[in-house]
Chain A
Amino acid sequence: MSASRAFRRDVAAMDELFAFTSDAFGAEGIDQGLRPIVDLVLEELFTNVVKYGRKSEAAVRVELSRTPGGVEVTVIEDDAERFDPTAGPAVDTTKPLESRKPGGLGLHLIGKLVDSIEYRYVEASRQGRTTFRKSARGAGKDGE
């Protein structure tokens, strides 16, 4: 079983995105302790599409399913430019306050929070697919 829903490319759709994860976690019986992490990773991926992706009317589809002890989520972007969220620039989080600038932490946080993440882009159909997984066992990474 899995849950799936499409969202318009608009930051204002964030509430609908979070309502979807809330519904899906309940329906699929997924550990609620994983939801803040899934919400955060989804928000970062979704806002990247909205802010930096191709200006398109194509909706962004999210699929969510339960895995043993965790969850797998796929974000599907049609009419997409290639953008690999797993290949973001390194972020130096040790810089002093005066050298820090707002922004750039989203992809860094994704790498810290998920157990695994993959990106695939199909040139012919101009479709980008990002799949990430998180389990309660893997939550040790979150609480390291």
Chain B
Amino acid sequence: MLAIDFGADGSVVISGRLDAAQCQLAQSFLDRVEGPVTLDCSRLEYISSAGLGVLLKTQKRLSASHGKLRLAGVSRHLCDIFRYSGFDQIFEIEAAE
């Protein structure tokens, strides 16, 4: 299951599993955000290539209007996935402590 909503500090908090069956839910939410946005990934357990596509599409849209998506609280496993995908070159990524 996946949950995505605004957190108290204005960041977007995503939790659960961002797989092919859940990416439409995440895309629908992220299509509505504007400007610089921090995506709190500290409770994101899993991401597949379908989920990576959601993040990439959002980054491209925000970048076109001088915004960006920043990924925060990223676990080691997700850091590896982002690195293998080259996302460390096109996203600002803050690893989990």
Q: Name A residues whose Cβ lies closer than 8 Å to a Cβ of B.
A: 11-12, 14-15, 18, 36-37, 39-40, 43-44, 47, 93-98, 100-106, 108-109, 112-113, 142-143
Contact = CB atoms under 8 A, between A and B. Distances in A.
B33 interface: no
Interface string B43-62: 00111111011101101100
Contacts, number: 73
A44 B51 CA distance: 11
Interface of B: 17, 19-21, 45-50, 52-54, 56-57, 59-60, 63, 76-77, 80-81, 84-86, 89-90
Q: Is the interface of B mostly helix, strand, loop or mixed?
A: helix
8 contacts: A14-B21, A47-B50, A96-B90, A101-B56, A103-B49, A103-B53, A106-B49, A109-B84
Given A43-B48, A143-B80, A11 B86 contact: no
Contacts of B20: 11, 14, 43, 47
